[in-house]
Chain A
Amino acid sequence: MLSEPSARDGASTDPFSAAYRELSPRVLGYLRSHGVDDPEAVTDDVLLALYRRFASIDGGEDGVRTLTFSIAHARLVDFHRAQARRPRHIRFDADEDPRRSVSAEDAAIDVAGGRATALLPRLGDDQRQVISLRVIGGLSLEETAQVMDRSVGSIKQLQRRGLECLRSLIAREAIDV
């Protein structure tokens, strides 16, 4: 999936730059879909950590992708642990509350392709992890199992349940509309 950079674009042709161009949007989307406070800063931190270990990575592009999301997953776990120890006090914003009921307009926009990622927080934690790693991160079943330190079978199960949950959410919102 890591596409070779083109020298015609004026972009750097070294492997790390190519990995950055390919993976940084995915890492940012993965962290953002899990509600990390400053996803850009954490993305930068993840890729800096990747750079330090870049020369020792085995497995080519798949190895780079797996290591990148392993680091991102670890940062995400750290973030949630820190949040659990020291809850932040923020102003309540009704639009950001996942428990709110979706308006007809919002549902129409979501189903039309405007805010598909907004459905992710409605999944359970593990299901959200698997769906985001697979769809946003572009990892295979085996790579996702490696990142989450689970078996491939359990990942497959979580994926199936997550997809069924998404389908039911879409159907419910379509009915609501």
Chain B
Amino acid sequence: MSEFIDGILAESGLHDDPVLRDLLVDMEREATAVRPMPSAELMGLMTPRQVRPRRTALRRSGAGRAAIITGIAVVGALGLGAGAAAASSEARSLIGAGVAVIARLFEPAPAANAPAPTVGTTQSAGIGGSAQPSADATPSGDPTPSPSGDASGADHSPSGKGAGSQNAGGSSSSSNPGETHGNDTGNQSGHGNGAGKGNGGPAPTP
């Protein structure tokens, strides 16, 4: 510091005054002898190492917050995409086709000796045999004729229901008793119950 004081004196042309030089040296020494105690606030600012872990924690929490925000953004985008896809009819049909393909993959394979379902497989086994077609009857199924010649009452209508009932024989209410209606099948139930109630005989003549 004395060199610094010498410089000050030299700047003012007083470098040859040792008393003044000593006074200035003492002045500097006295004035800077007391080091003030920092306040608690300043002390906290001057110990940043205690703050560092907190900064790290803040950084971590910031990263976690960023991850959460990114996740929410992704989920939101997916939701918007799903909504747009649901609103599109083409997308719906594509999704339906895809679902059908997937469902077919998981469908169990049919047994090799299993009887193939046919229309009217429940043939009338006699009176009271139910000729009600199964639910999987196909309209193109060819009804098997009854060996007894009885009217099986097989319904040829796709719906399996008869178009109406035809009364034959004695039960006929026709004004011409000897006239047969249609065929000899007697009473044909249009409901396809194949009961074979008709006896196939000619209508009694009076």
Contact = CB atoms under 8 A, between A and B. Distances in A.
B115 to A, nearest CB: 90
B23 A14 contact: no
A54 B20 CA distance: 36
B31 A47 contact: no
A138 B8 CA distance: 10
B4 interface: yes
A166 B36 contact: no
Interface in B1-43: 1, 4-5, 8-9, 11-14, 17, 19-20, 22-24, 26-28, 30-39, 41-42
B31 A117 contact: yes
> Secondary structure at chain A's binding surface: helix, strand, loop or mixed?
helix
Given A135-B8, A170-B19, A170-B23, A51 B45 contact: yes
A176 to B, nearest CB: 15
Contacts of B8: 134-135, 159, 163
A87 interface: no
Nearest to A45: B39
A48 B38 CA distance: 10
A120 B27 contact: yes
Contacts, number: 108
B13 A17 contact: no
Contacts of A21: 35
Contacts of A25: 31-36
Given A44-B36, A44-B39, A170-B23, A115 B12 contact: no
B48 A141 contact: no
A118 B47 CA distance: 36
> Secondary structure at chain B's binding surface: helix, strand, loop or mixed?
helix
Contacts of A136: 27-28, 31-32
Interface in A18-59: 20-21, 24-26, 28-30, 32-33, 40, 43-44, 47-48, 51
B31 A163 contact: no
A26 B42 contact: no
A151 interface: no
A24 B31 contact: no
Contact of B31 (A17, A30, A44, A160): A30
B46 interface: yes
Interface of A: 12, 14, 16-17, 20-21, 24-26, 28-30, 32-33, 40, 43-44, 47-48, 51, 111, 113, 115-117, 119-120, 132, 134-136, 138, 141, 156, 159-160, 163-164, 166-167, 170
Given A25-B36, A116-B26, A138-B28, 4 more contacts: A28-B35, A115-B30, A117-B31, A160-B13
